[in-house]
Structure 1
């Protein structure tokens, strides 16, 4: 049985290790490594996807025209993602996916045009966030559905991902050419045209009727009622 939820972000897979056929013909490579993330809070509007969005490519070790066509169009291949410890990527997961990650942690196979205009098979995780701060890696596990049973195929592990607090997050990076290319082909990825750095608001100075000057990050509600003047850096008496 396979269950997935974009809201709860979980994936349960049951099935015995496959002995009926060999999957050694497949090869996985992470085409776009995750680098950073802002820790995911309780409010959906504050959630930011992993930057850049992870993209995993699947290939055949011994490709042929017929087999290429078959596997690129397969509805039976899918990939799940879990969070693992950076120092022990082959060990236990940090927590079940629905507790460690938010968004969509399952990707079906996408047949897309690569940057060299060749056809390729990709698993794209464009809407996935992390719920805890620290240094982690992502473990991507490939599964295949055969004759009503789900088989574990293979896994690959990302580079180290740093998850920052909301206060220390440096901001989202400009979208990569690969992300923009796949978004143009209909894949759900948020595209950013430039590097977005969290702005630092300079304090504003407010002078009341009695001549007292005070610094605020935003104007007090009583300013207009008191007839105060707002200005930067100095006061007018």
Structure 2
């Protein structure tokens, strides 16, 4: 038998090549998405008795790059109780063009100049301003399934050629992803004392990084709200009916949300 012919008759399959390791994502792991934008508010008084919440209440959602709903580690990450989101208030000029979120450092410099010119003092805490009152830090609220899947965003993917920015809307889920878990930060207790045009900045942090490393707490992700108007009492158009998302989150246990429906928004002016 010719040399090597026996190998052709008794061919042994070659072992399958090893699966190449998954390409490491170049995107940041954490993202914030403003799921429910603030639209309007009635200016409140200086005391705690005259509280006029921003309407609708801003709702921010955390998204994870390459989130796997079957991964226990990813679901544990969404449920980490050490996450928190802080909220900052910034004035917004009517003449500005809202094309993309402004540079945070420049926005803070502009705000400092404005305060120096009108004599308004700022609190020592970096996440509070004299005009904003209420709960400016919120803990995560985790749900097993999104209460409004039709408006739910997708988690970013490292395979995206042009991944969406964290403050911009994401594509809707497809039908196979309707029951994914979600984590929200719900700002149901924000009030603003002076009429004007504003925007909110949200910053994601994790207190655990301080406990684990002893170092200062980094900002993991940021997102900006759309501009919204705060009205004087005589001009306020009234509260809107609650969204499907807000109704669902209250039913799931977030009792701080005050919901309104059936065209009976409190204080809404009739045409």
* TM-score, normalization by structure 2: 0.61
Structure 1 residues 23 and 71: CA distance shift in structure 2, 3 A: farther
Describe how 1:195-214 pairs up with structure 2 within 5 A.
195-197=265-267
- Structure 1 residues not aligned, in runs of 5+: 1-21, 201-237
- Matched positions, count: 179
| Cross-structure match for 2:229 | 162
* TM-score, normalization by structure 1: 0.69
Does the 8 Å CA contact 1:101/1:128 hold for their aligned counterparts? yes
What SS does structure 1 have at the residue aligned with 2:74?
helix
Does the 8 Å CA contact 1:72/1:110 hold for their aligned counterparts? no
Give the Cα separation in 1 of the matches to 2:253 and 2:268.
Answer: 29
The structure carrying a bigger helix percent of its residues is: 2
The structure with higher relative contact order (CA 8 Å, sep 6+) is 2
Structure 1 residues 198 and 26: CA distance shift in structure 2, 3 A: closer
Give the Cα separation in 2 of the matches to 1:199 and 1:33.
Answer: 21
- Name the Cα RMSD after superposition: 2.2
What SS does structure 2 have at the residue aligned with 1:56?
strand
| Cross-structure match for 2:64 | 60
1:199 to partner: Cα distance:
6.7
Structure 1 residues 23 and 110: CA distance shift in structure 2, 3 A: farther
| Cross-structure match for 1:179 | 246
- Structure 2 residues not aligned, in runs of 5+: 1-25, 97-101, 113-121, 150-178
1:76 to partner: Cα distance:
1.7
Q: 1:107 aligns with which of 114, 138, 146?
A: 138
Give the Cα separation in 1 of the matches to 2:60 and 2:88.
Answer: 14
1:46 to partner: Cα distance:
2.9
Describe how 1:30-109 pairs up with structure 2 within 5 A.
30-64=34-68, 65-87=71-93, 89-90=102-103, 91-92=107-108, 93=111, 96=123, 97-109=128-140
